[in-house]
Amino acid sequence: MTVEPGTAPEPDPTPAPASLSLGTVVLDDICCPDGRVHRDVPSGSGFCCTLGPYFAVLQSESVTVCCLVTAGSDSPASVK
């Protein structure tokens, strides 16, 4: 590719999503019988529907698996 001096090269086109999930993503607290608590564990239909395609595509194509999420006002600061 030849680029004129002082100009930027055209960026590579963004790949189209191989999969796009529009479901619900929630953060759960899982309480174990021994008293341990795992906080803010991702779950919900949107999250789970994203995992299948993510594991099914080649690693080089994993960026094409997307999950569209709108964070609620009660989301923990660690995930905003």
pLDDT tens-digit map of 17-74: 778 887 788 889 999 999 999 998 988 888 888 888 888 888 888 878 888 777 667 7
32 part of a folded domain: yes
Q: How far apart are CA 43 and CA 69, in angstroms?
A: 12
Q: How far apart are CA 48 and CA 26, in angstroms?
A: 11
pLDDT digits (tens, 9 = 90+) for 60-70: 888 788 887 77
What is the domain extent for residue 43? 19-70
8 part of a folded domain: no
58 part of a folded domain: yes
60 part of a folded domain: yes
- Given a contact cutoff of 8 angstroms between Cβ atoms, the answer to whether 53 and 67 are in contact is no
HSE-CB for 31 with a 13 A CA cutoff: 1
Domain count across the chain: 1
13 part of a folded domain: no
Look-up of token digits 């479901």: 23
Closest to 49 measured CA to CA, from 19, 16, 6? 19
79 part of a folded domain: no
